[in-house]
Structure 1
Amino acid sequence: MKFETRRERETRRKRQKQSAILGMVLAFALVMIMGAVIWSGKRTLEKQNKEYQARVAQLQEQVEEQQNRSDEIDEYKKYIQTKKFAEEVAKDKFGMIYPDELVFKPEN
């Protein structure tokens, strides 16, 4: 067993104390760096979230417009299956009239 002198013991304790302080400083620096990285990532995610929310709103508006268009097309589909539509097409495109119907044409 080797005995150490007072000077060696003080030097060893001083190195241990310095090592402990250095370790705490490095740990604190690491925590600060991790905090900065997390904060930066949070800001990026918030920005992406805002962009996605705007895109969702835009897409929702498009869905509503297409639903309205679909409803209009359904109504038109029902209309073209009616007798009134057939009569209008026959009169406008083919010039057909009912046998008892009178047609007045302007003189030019």
Structure 2
Amino acid sequence: MRKKRKARRTGLGLIAVMVLLVCGIVSYNRQELDKANAKSTARIAELKDDIEQEKEQAKEIQEKKAYMQTKKYIEEMAREKLGLVYKDEIIFKAQE
């Protein structure tokens, strides 16, 4: 009988140690997963901000593209870059 009680106690002790060990491992892994989740959440927020910035930039590019196709822009570039003027315009230059 004593052997059975001693074996039962030893068995219960081993089971308790194993359960505690498994709980410890699960807790550790959960903490690691929580850290990884927090990093992923931060990265997602960062990427969403980047997406918004890229959308704004794309909108600005589309607006600039539309402006560049106007007659006003073409005239400005012809005057500025090429020095062209209309036939009936008079150009006044300041003396240096």
Counterpart residue number, 1:56: 44
Q: Which amino acid aligns with 1:97?
A: V
TM-score computed with the length of structure 1 as normaliser: 0.85
Counterpart residue number, 1:66: 54
Moved over 6 A (4+): none
Counterpart residue number, 2:66: 78
Counterpart residue number, 2:28: 40
Unaligned runs of 5+ in 1: 1-12
Unaligned runs of 5+ in 2: none
1:22 and 2:19 correspond: no
Identity of aligned residues (%): 31
Instruction: Give the aligned CA root-mean-square deviation in angstroms.
Output: 0.8
Q: What is the total number of aligned residue pairs between the two structures?
A: 96
- More displaced, 71-80 or 97-106? 97-106
Counterpart residue number, 1:107: 95
TM-score computed with the length of structure 2 as normaliser: 0.95
Structure with bigger gyration radius: 1
